[in-house]
């Protein structure tokens, strides 16, 4: 029952065998090329991924630094506005007089200054001497 197949050695079979061999060689070369280009693409994709991750990290660091700098800028702007307000107040004679009276206990003519130390009120109490008294 075991029959052996005998190959015919004619031009047709030789032609088919060479075609088969050429196709297998081309297939092997094609697989090698695909593997080579696929590897190159994977390496390029890996490099691009590493660059993207590094850039993402750098962006988050710069965003944090920007937030800190914006907060400092807001503080400086607020401080500048406060200083401008203080300059306006220091150019006002009434304000200067109030400060001089409360801090240095200066009084006008006829006033008697009593210094009462009270925790709730730090300004000295002044009593004006009237003409009717």
φ/ψ of 111, rounded to 5, equals -100, 145
Q: 101, 92, 103: which is closest to 126 by C-alpha?
A: 101
Task: Note whether residue 61 is domain-resident.
Answer: yes
Query: What would the DSSP string read from start to end of 27-66?
Result: HHHHHHHHHHHHHHHHHHHHHHHHHHHHHHHHHHHHHHHH
CA 28-29-33 angle, to 5 degrees, is 120
Domain that holds residue 27: 13-91
State whether 76 and 48 are in the same domain.
yes
State whether 62 and 23 are in the same domain.
yes
pLDDT digits (tens), the chain, 133 positions: 567 877 777 888 889 899 999 999 999 999 999 999 999 999 999 999 999 999 999 999 999 999 999 999 999 999 999 999 999 988 888 888 888 777 777 777 777 767 677 665 555 555 554 444 3
State whether 87 and 50 are in the same domain.
yes
Strand partners, 50: none
Task: Note whether residue 4 is domain-resident.
Answer: no
Reported pTM: 0.47
């Amino acid at each position: 029952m075991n029959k052996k197949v005998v190959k015919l050695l004619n031009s047709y079979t030789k032609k088919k065998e060479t075609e088969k061999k050429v196709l297998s060689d081309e297939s092997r070369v094609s697989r090698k090329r695909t593997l080579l280009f696929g590897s190159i693409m994977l390496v390029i994709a890996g490099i691009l991924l590493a660059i993207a991750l590094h850039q993402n990290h750098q962006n988050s660091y710069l965003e944090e630094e920007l937030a800190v700098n914006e907060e400092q800028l807001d503080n400086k702007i607020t401080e500048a506005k406060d200083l401008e307000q203080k300059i306006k107040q220091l150019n006002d004679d009434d304000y200067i007089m109030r400060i001089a009276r409360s801090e240095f206990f200066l009084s006008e003519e006829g006033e008697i200054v009593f210094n009462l130390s009270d925790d709730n009120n730090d300004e000295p109490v002044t009593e004006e001497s009237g003409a009717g008294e």
